[in-house]
Amino acid sequence: MNKYAKITMDGLVNNNATFKLVLGTCATLGMSATALGGLGMGLSVTIVLLLSNVIISLLRKVIPSTVRIPAFVVIIATLVTLLRMFLYKFLPDLYDTMGVFLPLIVVNCLILGRAEAFSSKQPVLDSAIDGVASGLGFTLALTVMGIIRELLGSGSFFGIKLWDFTIGFFTNSAGAFFVYGICIALFVFITNRVELCLNAKHMQALRVPKEPLPDVTETAQKEEA
């Protein structure tokens, strides 16, 4: 696996922000009531994460280490403000749906964490790939939770009504915590099983007996005869 594939897999699966590192929990619980809300929040975080990673990577040798965290917050806050202005102008419905969780992207642990742990130390391309992968991993997690909660709680899929039977429990905060816990458990179980299977295949490949080398002396004697 090359470097870029590893960065991508880490962001999507191995270090998934929602199901593995449990980052951005407020946005996860608040915006996963519907599939559209989860998708909108995830893509918004992905855009901010990508741009902040690129900018911080470009400025990593300029920003003094003593003020790096305040500098990161200023960069992220500026990007979030521009995003809010864009959504307010062109996507007002999504802007209203996200509500207070949109400005809270500034203090999202995922964005600040990737800035501190990765983009402030890595080249621009690596940081961009990390931002996209981590953001998409976050987006997929919120969207999956949103689909589950919307189907069970509202009987709809991305706003399209499918049936009348609903379970109100999944539309409230307790339902959000329940679905979140189930998703984390399933994600960890599946990824651990896949990792065990891959390790078992690797060990099995190492134990395959090699073909014995031909006996040089025996071959020479046959040739002389």
pTM of the model: 0.87
DSSP element (H, E) containing 156: strand 156-157
The answer to whether 141 and 25 have CB atoms below 8 angstroms apart is no
Contacts by 3-6 with C-beta closer than 8 Å and gap 24+? Answer: 3/126, 4/126, 4/129
Angle at 170 (CA atoms; ends 157, 133), nearest 5 degrees: 60
Cα separations (Å) of 129 from 26, 34, 62? 25, 28, 22
CA distance 62 to 194: 42
Asked if residue 217 has pLDDT above 60, the reply is no
pLDDT reported for residue 209: 57
Query: Which tens digit of pLDDT belongs to each residue from 69-109?
Result: 999 999 999 999 999 999 999 999 889 988 888 988 988 88
